[in-house]
Structure 1
Amino acid sequence: MLERYGHGGDLWTAEEAFGRPRDQFLDFSSNMNPLGPPPAIRGIWMDAWRDVVKYPDPAVRELRHKLAQKYKIEMESILVGNGAAELIDLTARVLKPAVTGLARPSFSEYEEAIHKTGGRIYNIPLRSSHQFELQQPDVEAALSAVDLFFLGHPNNPTGRLLPRHVVESLLESGRSCVLDEAFMDFVPDEQEHSFLKLASTSRKLVVIRSMTKFYSIPGIRLGFMVAHPDLIREIRQQQVQWSVNYLAQRIGTAVLEGEEFELASRHWLQDEKAWLTGQLRQLGLDVVPTDVNFVLFSFPPELGLTIKQAQKHMGQMGILIRDASLFEGLNEQYGRVAIRLREDNERLIEGLRQTVAALAQNRGRTHD
């Protein structure tokens, strides 16, 4: 199984599974910005190696200062971590909810973090009949059963933003809420949708952001969270000292100054998202509307195909796609692909076209 460790982007497992070198795969299973990393990182690699003999700043002051400037919030409301994954885990450990409401399907690390604390999960369904958009009645039904909501905004793997009125009504109810905005950088008019600024002063809201997706630096491990300063101090006390290394701090500070890169990335995504979703639909696939840089799709039942069959066939062609049936709430027809540059996306579409044809032909032979 390509997702042996619960994630896409595992080129080591792909190498073992499909028998070709890691650098020969075209990876649509992880959702990185294909325009990255930003050019500023090259200069840091060439220069910053001299300073690895020094300890990093334990308070991550320079990067927190840049984040505070960018989002117009106080530094005391910001904690930087070793990727969003560390911050998800830390938040669960400090809040220790007895019952957590999770929208299904969603990122598996929410559930893993809650289970580590001994908490229980309350499932909130995201329905295909509503294009996987969270519905107000389902949130209201969960209010009496949970003491914390942990929600993706936009959600992974569906790519859908949470309706603003749903989040606002949730907060008005007095329940605590953690929003994972790991992919918010990709959303047009980000400021209109993000709850980051509200989280900086609220005692009921936490927002977690990743810097690895938009800036395409997953190997660096870098993210940050925004919450009330009192909660930030409490969580910081549980964080491992020097969790964010020197290179990560330098790189994070540098990429925040790249406004040109941000504009280019959003322009690319606007055009390419429309093209790729159109092509997937032309193949006869059911495509979920997306607000971000990846697409959830499913094979119509009449094709009789599963995503595991497609993933294996395409992996042998050197193209990696995500088996989305591993997300609770999705069946064996669902897959997820990142949006990449046009040349790569053309290879994906051609690979899917060949895969659908080949698997349909094999299925026909077995029925003869």
Structure 2
Amino acid sequence: MLKNYVIIPDNNNDCTRCFNKGERMGSEHGGLNYSELRKLGISPDDVLDFSVSINPDPLPDSVLEDIRNSCIIRYPDSDSGLLKNSIAAYNNIETDSILVVNGTSQGMFLIVSSLLKENQCVAIVEPTYSEYYDACRLKTDNIISVRMTPQESFRISTSRILETVQSKKPALLWLCSPNNPTGSYLNEEDFETIRKACVQEGTLLILDEAYVCFVQEKKRYNPLREGVIVLRSMTKDFSIPGLRLGYILSSPTIIQRIKKWQPEWSISAPAQVAGVAGFRELDYFKNSWRKTTERRDFLKKNLEDLGLTVYDSCSNFFLVEVDDAEALKTHLWKDLILVRDCSSFSLVNTIRIGIRTDEDNHKLIQSFKSYLKK
């Protein structure tokens, strides 16, 4: 959990976070604590981990076979050439607009290192992924937060973002869509309004689309336009979190500036091979993404039928309000079920649930039922 910062609200429901620049404070994320599991004598395979938001379907055998056969006795291609070709074909762009990264978290730190000057202002739309803060605090204390609220069902407020951009003129604006942890997705009209304001004020818009593959295709749009840097995660798309893989899209000029800061051989050979194989099996994964949204809707309805408040989401996770998050987590853990406590997002008694397989989702529903009967 993030500590040692101050939130100062103003009349516009925005807030400024004040940090000690350069102090490294690790972000709290979902996922298993392997050290604790070893102490408890629990195998990671026995835990139903709903705290992460990864494609729940297994990798096709062809992808697994390619990963097994990847060459690990030579240095990998430092330019990820074959994978860039696959990404370019998928996005209908040129390869010089692509930088492959060791997970989108690496991309965030590269963006800050290469594009943000000391003590420049940065704006972040929240509640959201805390790595944006961690990356920016390496360069600046001047971090402005534009906060979405449960009273607004966590809809992304275009008007407050515009007010911040026009009044503060930040060097960078971080926006996650679909947003983690709320699942809110910015429609194209509002995106373009924000983008134009950023271009006018000299602000680079960083759009984190780590979960966009789970958005219905008819709702998606191409955000790669002037003044925009797009982050994408193949970790989520292809269910390969252990390999760490993602990419950045932007103008060739910006991509070259960012690439200068990337360590050589950042992307391992198995990761590059997995990405190429994943795009080759795109029909399988597109079907998996559609099934995941159907599972999300099923799980959401079942939890709502139990009387719980569940927020709408366009991604493969959603937020649930509960009476006592600690008590619920303790109960679920008796069934070796892990969910994401959202206190680190400053959301009280709220949990995030990532969508898993049908069988796992049914087990979660049953555990909720037994908790609510107490």
Shared fold (TM-score greater than 0.5)? Answer: yes
Distance in 2 between residues matched to 1:13 and 1:289, nearest whole Å: 34
Which ranges of structure 2 fall in alignment gaps of 5 or more residues? Answer: 2-25
Q: Secondary structure at the match of 1:209?
A: strand
Check the 8 A contact 2:122/2:143 in 1, yes or no: yes
Report the more deviating stretch, 8-17 or 71-80: 8-17
Specify the alignment match of 2:105 in structure 1: 85
In terms of mean alpha carbon deviation, does 19-28 or 146-155 score higher? 19-28
Identify if the C-alpha distance between structure 1 residues 120 and 81 changes in structure 2 by more than 3 Å, giving closer, same or farther.
same
SS, match of residue 85 in structure 1: helix
**Selected match of 2:159 from 117, 133, 137:** 137
Distance 1:311 1:337 in 2: 12
Superposition pairs for residues 297-336 of structure 1, below 5 Å?
Answer: 297-299=320-322, 305-328=323-346, 330-331=347-348, 333-336=349-352
* 1:339 and 2:355 correspond: yes
Alpha-carbon distance change, 123 to 295 in structure 1, aligned in 2, over 3 angstroms: same
| 1:280 aligns with one of 264, 281, 303 | 303
State whether structure 2 residue 217 is matched by structure 1 residue 193. no
Q: Aligned with 2:236: secondary structure? A: coil
Q: Within 5 A, what are the aligned runs for 1:96-111?
A: 96=116, 98-111=120-133
Tell me the secondary structure at the aligned position of residue 213 of structure 1: helix
Does the 8 Å contact 2:121/2:140 carry over to 1? no
CA distance in 2 between partners of 1:343 and 1:238 (Å): 44
CA distance in structure 2 between the aligned counterparts of 1:227 and 1:190, rounded to whole angstroms: 23
Superposition map of 1:153-164 within 5 A:
153-164=177-188
Whole-Å Cα distance in 2 between the matches of residues 14 and 214 of structure 1?
Answer: 28
2:230 corresponds to 1:207 = yes
For 1:49-128, list aligned pairs within 5 A: 51-96=71-116, 98-128=120-150
The answer on 1:181 being equivalent to 2:209 is: yes
* 2:204 is equivalent to residue 148 of structure 1: no
Which residue of 2 is the match for residue 172 of structure 1?
196
Residue type matched to 2:294 in 1? D
Residue 356 of structure 1: aligned partner: 372
Q: Which amino acid aligns with 1:311?
A: K
Q: Distance in 2 between matches of 1:190 and 1:241?
A: 38
**Match in the other structure for 1:26:** 48
| Residues 1:259 and 2:282 aligned together | yes
Distance in 2, Cα, partners of 1:237 & 1:194? 26
Tell me, in whole angstroms, the C-alpha distance in 2 between the residues paired with 1:151 and 1:76. Answer: 24
Question: Is the CA contact 1:317–1:351 (under 8 Å) kept in the aligned structure 2?
Answer: yes
Contact 1:135-1:166 within 8 A present in 2 as well: no
CA spacing shift, 1:346–1:318, aligned 2, 3 Å: same
For the structure 1 residues 181 and 194, does the alpha-carbon distance in structure 2 shift closer, same or farther, using more than 3 Å as the test?
A: farther
Relative distance call for 1:44 and 1:310 in structure 2 (3 A) is same
Q: Once the 2 structures are TM-superposed, how far is the Cα of residue 149 of structure 1 from its aligned partner?
A: 0.8
- Deviations 1:322-347 (CA, angstroms, capped at 9, x unpaired): 0012113x12x100111111111010
Worse overlay, 36-45 or 62-71: 36-45
Structure 1 residues 191 and 129, CA gap change in structure 2 (3 angstroms)? closer
**Could you say which structure has the higher helix fraction?**
1
1:296–1:336 Cα contact (<8 Å) kept: yes
Q: 1:268 and 1:14 mapped to 2: Cα distance?
A: 33
SS at match of 1:296: strand
1:185 and 1:289, CA in 2 relative to 1: closer, same or farther beyond 3 A?
same
Q: Deviations along 1:57-107, whole A, 9 cap, x unmatched? A: 111111101111111101000000101110011011112161221112100
The question of 1:44 aligning with 2:66 is answered yes
Distance in 2, Cα, partners of 1:105 & 1:193: 23
Shift of 1:168: 1.1
- 2:245 counterpart (217, 222, 225): 222
| CA–CA separation in structure 2 for the residues paired with 1:167 and 1:243 | 31
State the Cα deviation string for residues 188-233 of structure 1 (Å, max 9, x = none): 11673341x33xxx2x110000000121100000000001111111
Local SS of the residue matching 2:31: coil
Asked if the contact 1:314–1:351 (Cα under 8 Å) also holds between the matched residues in 2, the reply is: yes
Question: Partner residue of 1:302?
Answer: none
Contact 1:184 1:194 in 2 (8 A): no
AA aligned opposite 2:125: A
Unaligned runs of 5+ in 1: 300-304, 359-368
Q: How much does 1:129 deviate?
A: 2.1
In 1, Cα distance between equivalents of 2:192 and 2:289: 27
Residues 184 and 190 of structure 1 are in contact (CA less than 8 Å); yes or no, is this contact kept in structure 2? no
Distance 1:260 1:187 in 2: 16
Deviations 1:305-358 (A, max 9, x none): 321221122112200000012113x12x10011111111101001112222334
1:45 positional shift: 3.4
Q: CA RMSD in A?
A: 1.9
Residue of structure 1 in register with 2:259 after alignment: 236
